[in-house]
A and B are shown apart, each in its own frame.
Chain A
Amino acid sequence: MRSSATSSPSADWGCPVGDSPEQAALRDAVRSLVSRGGADLWKRLTAELGVTGLAVPEEYGGAGATLAEVAVAVEETGRVLLPLPVLSTALAGLVLGASSGCGEFLPGIADGSLRAAFVFGGSLTASSGRVSGTAAHVLDGVEADLFVVRAGAELHVVRASDVEVAPAETLDQSRSQATVFFPEAAAVAVPDADPAVAEELLRVLLAVESVGAAAHCLDVTVAYLRTREQFGRALGTFQALRHRCADLAVLVASARATVYAAVSGATDSELLVQGPLAKKYCADVFWQVAAEMIQLHGGIGFTWEHEAHRYLKRAKTTQLLHGSPTELRRLVAERAGLLTSA
């Protein structure tokens, strides 16, 4: 009994995640669009498919959907390491769309004319409608039109025209990073958004993206082991390699279950634990799968030409930004009350 979905990207690697019919259609549409690529991809993803407006309320031109639908799109863009700011812009749609007083930005987010980036780090301060300070390692920061920033106890939106953006040369060349200087930049407060929850939503989506990417690494590796021959046999017949692939499948399946627990109906207080938990677990899984992808490909996996190194670099970047594994472990322990002595 062999799996029928073997040569095409397998659906779920042992983790059945029940997409609704609408989610399945969205998944197929995003997957087929990103696999074709093309110079007008951003326009087609946003104007045609509306991926950045998935969670924007309908009155602002969005689809009025939820985190779960954003996750479907992000898993698919993650699979191919799409170098476009779908994750951050769609998340901005979700966060600003749930708040009042951000209506001016929402139509642009929904139609793709405004790209967003998030800033949770740095030491930004806010006073009388202005944000000051510097933040490094701002993902998707180079092409952003809007920055959603945590300054003090609140979230604010700052337009890129009011800040200075210094692009960084990045290890992972499929996603930009910038250092952003906020010179008492004019800011619009996002009144009823909890920055801590917004940060966890970002971590959850980074975890979702990691799962999509890790699943792709496993797909490609398994396909290679099926066809590549040495000693007159397909590599995939050697038990040492089969068992390693099985272990990777366990990691990917469990990571997938973890993110889908977080995106389908976790409450805000659950997210405070599940956000760091999912990002730590899934980024660690992504790293292990990407590293194994190179080893299991042998020499070809070490070349610039092969895609494996791009996944390895994205995996390490995701592990280190928005909370290192050590930092996230500490957050989980603290928020779950594990290490109290009483």
Chain B
Amino acid sequence: MDDDAFRACVRSWLAENLPPSLVGAGGPGSEHELVPERIAWERQLGAAGWIGIGWPVEDGGRGLPWRQQVIFLEEYAQAGGPGRVGHIGEQLLGPALLMFGSEEQKARFLPGILDGTSLWCQGYSEPDAGSDLAGLRTRAVLGDDGQWHVDGQKVWTSLAQFADWCFVLARTSADERHRGLSCLLVPMRQDGVTVRPIVQLTGTSEFNEVFFTDAVAADLVGAPGDGWRVAMGTLGVERGVSTVGQQLGFAREFDAVLASARATGALGDPAIAARLTDAWIELQVMRFYASASLGEGSQGVEANIAKLLWAPWHQRLGELTMDIMGADGTVVGASYELSDAQRLFLFTRADTIYGGSNEIQRNIIAERGLGLPRG
């Protein structure tokens, strides 16, 4: 199918199938919205073959070229498709198994991701291992029963309360730092797993703490001790995933902020008008950068550079939208219910922290991109 026909096909499917109640739901800062409905939506996407469209055909994907993957993301964003709850399975676990999993693991786990029936969460960060991931302490010991027994605590785990499985990075030997780590596939629905929501500064809970107390897992990806290689390989995928769909989301957010400036009359303030124009210019620049780094593969530091462009931009947009609201921005609804502007303003404070803090991104660019010597 050529690109235009593919686009038309995506567009018409979304027009016919996307429930109006889900349009725009579950975006950043609203990830707690309409979760059961969005879980059902994942199954609908999966049944229609829209999950893993770039995966190899022999692994159950459709083997579509990156151009068409981008077209899907563009159309999805254009239609206002809801924030995905299956993205960790599709964008993290799936690629990890495609790269490092056994044939048996692929056969067992990939179909559930592709049809949207099994939901995954990611267990990397810990209270004492944020940016310094190699310092993590969760342990897994191989028992006489042939199962791995997991003990420890993970933090900032999105969607843990809904997930069927967790992709856990744990220490399987006493070796120092990253050498003793392994990646385990841990079922979430068992006695040894407890999930506790974290109330964030937004008052909502997109993230959780997950406690493992003698939780059991049968599967380890790769060999014991391969965990760092697997996690870094998939971290690259996570950060390198096309930002095109994200760009369209940003464009929608910008349009909403611009509309609010029109509605309140703030657009008549030359300082606000200048900030809006600069934000629009930078939005175009991010789009140009996304297209320039697309198709080349993310072998270098493109994903790190992209993050240093979008995360601060998004924060500034959040600040701008509050300044447009003016005094009204200081009042919230009952039970601390936030407006879109307030949610954007508050939630974007996380953008420069998660997915590798911006300081970590700068370290990577300085070392790998610029070749500056380590201290």
Q: Which residues of A contact B (CB under 8 A)?
A: 1-3, 6, 13-18, 222, 225-226, 233-234, 236-239, 242-243, 245-247, 249-250, 253-258, 260-261, 274, 277, 280-281, 329-330, 332-333, 336, 338-339, 341
Contact = CB atoms under 8 A, between A and B. Distances in A.
Given A1-B367, A14-B369, A332-B281, 14 more contacts: A18-B296, A222-B370, A237-B374, A237-B375, A238-B375, A246-B308, A246-B362, A246-B365, A258-B289, A277-B285, A280-B281, A329-B277, A333-B273, A339-B273
A15 B289 contact: yes
Given A257-B288, A261-B292, A14 B300 contact: yes
A249 to B, nearest CB: 6
A245 B368 contact: no
Interface in B250-290: 258, 262, 267-268, 273-274, 276-278, 280-282, 284-286, 288-289
A3 B366 contact: no
B69 interface: no
Contact of B292 (A17, A277, A280): A17
Interface residues of B, number: 43
30 contacts: A3-B370, A3-B371, A13-B370, A14-B301, A15-B305, A16-B292, A16-B296, A222-B370, A222-B372, A233-B375, A234-B373, A236-B373, A238-B375, A242-B372, A243-B359, A253-B305, A254-B285, A254-B288, A254-B309, A257-B289, A257-B291, A257-B292, A261-B288, A261-B291, A261-B292, A277-B285, A281-B285, A338-B258, A338-B273, A341-B268
B361 interface: yes
A260 to B, nearest CB: 6
Contacts of A258: 284-285, 288-289
Main secondary structure of the interface of A (DSSP, over half): helix
A241 B280 CA distance: 30
A246 to B, nearest CB: 4
B302 interface: yes
Which of A3, A6, A226, A253 gathers the greatest number of chain B CB atoms within 10 Å? Answer: A253
Nearest to A225: B372
B371 A246 contact: no
A233 B373 CA distance: 10
Which of B286, B371, B372, B375 gathers the greatest number of chain A CB atoms within 10 Å? Answer: B372
Contact of B281 (A225, A247, A329, A339): A329
A17 to B, nearest CB: 6
A12 to B, nearest CB: 9
A246 B276 CA distance: 26
Nearest to B375: A237
Interface of B: 258, 262, 267-268, 273-274, 276-278, 280-282, 284-286, 288-289, 291-293, 296, 300-302, 304-305, 308-309, 359, 361-363, 365-375
A6 B373 CA distance: 11
Nearest to B265: A341
Contacts of A3: 368-371
Nearest to A280: B281
Contact of B276 (A13, A247, A338, A341): A338
A332 B375 contact: no
Contact of A281 (B281, B361, B367): B281
Contacts of B288: 254, 257-258, 260-261
Contacts of B274: 329
Contact of B362 (A2, A15, A242): A242
A245 B285 contact: no
A210 to B, nearest CB: 14
Contacts of B308: 246-247, 250
A242 B369 CA distance: 11
A332 B369 contact: no
B366 A242 contact: yes
Given A14-B302, A247-B308, A333-B277, A2 B371 contact: yes
Contacts of A18: 296
Contacts of A15: 289, 292-293, 302, 305
Contacts of A14: 293, 300-302, 304-305, 365, 369
Nearest to A326: B274
A235 to B, nearest CB: 9
Contacts of B258: 338
B361 A246 contact: yes
Contacts of B368: 1-3
Contacts of A2: 367-368, 371
B287 to A, nearest CB: 8
Given A254-B309, A257-B293, A258-B288, A243 B362 contact: yes
A233 B228 CA distance: 30
B371 A332 contact: no
A4 to B, nearest CB: 8
B267 A247 contact: no
Nearest to A330: B277
Given A1-B368, A239-B375, A246-B369, A277 B305 contact: no
Contacts of A339: 267, 273, 276-277
A338 B282 CA distance: 14
A253 B289 CA distance: 8
A277 B289 CA distance: 14
A338 B370 contact: no
A213 B365 CA distance: 20
B367 A250 contact: no
A281 B286 CA distance: 12
A245 B364 CA distance: 11
Contacts of B365: 14, 246, 249-250
A254 B290 CA distance: 9
The 6 closest A-B pairs by CB, nearest first: A6-B371, A242-B366, A257-B292, A246-B362, A237-B375, A236-B372
Given A332-B281, A341-B262, A246 B370 contact: yes
